[in-house]
Amino acid sequence: MRTDKHTAMLLASRVIPVLRLRSREEAQTAIDCLIEAGFNTVELTLTTPGAVELIGALRRNSSADFLVGAGTVLDLASARACLDAGADYLVSPCLVPGMAALARAAGRIALTGGFTPGEVLAAWREGAAVVKVFPASTGGPAHLAALHAVYPDIPLCPTGGVSSSNMLDFFRAGAAVVGVGNNVIDQKALAAGERSAVIAHARGFLDLAPTAAS
């Protein structure tokens, strides 16, 4: 396992909210609720309108111990834009050659996607701090357990299909941290402006997650 400040902080967070929302305003409200719920990181996917600008604003307005991630980074131009905006980590659903090195040169880290044993090892050898097992729903906890058995020293982050009902199963299977998509946000409550309900729903994921020492 690679050790650096960003990696240690991310693994300690245990749950990474992965937001893929329809507007910058909706994303900003969701992020505010996540921060109030106690999360110390958020990954904002580049499919969200105005994502790079929002990443920059979030980095400027957040404390140093809050990590801002950029998700669905598919090329080096996008990676550079996110790093320039202040992203602490870059996340891709697949291997993007050179992305991990670019992040490392900027003092940041990369979470590179892989699904098969070969893809996981390739992502790790490319320099990923954490390998994102995506889509996690396809193989489930059993698939993650098989990967963890052969790569016990590679921190794995299942993402895509992780929910409150199966999150503990992924941790038991060997997940170092999990990525939880839009279901971390109560969408109906968010649309209705019911902030307290959004916060309570999101906090439930943190309450459920085991500590790193568990």
The residues assigned a catalytic role are: 43, 132
Token pair for residue 24?
Answer: 């910058």
- Looking at residue 39, the DSSP 8-state letter turns out to be -
CA distance 69 to 108: 10
Residues with Cβ within 8 Å of residue 49, at least 6 apart in sequence: 22, 23, 24
DSSP 61-126: HS-TTSEEEEES--SHHHHHHHHHHT-SEEEESS--TTHHHHHHHTT-EEEEEE-SHHHHHHHHHH
Token pair for residue 110?
Answer: 């990369």
CA distance 124 to 130: 7
User: Residues 178, 35, 6, 78: is their CA dihedral positive or negative?
Assistant: positive
Q: Which amino acid is at 193?
A: G
DSSP β-bridge partners for residue 204: none
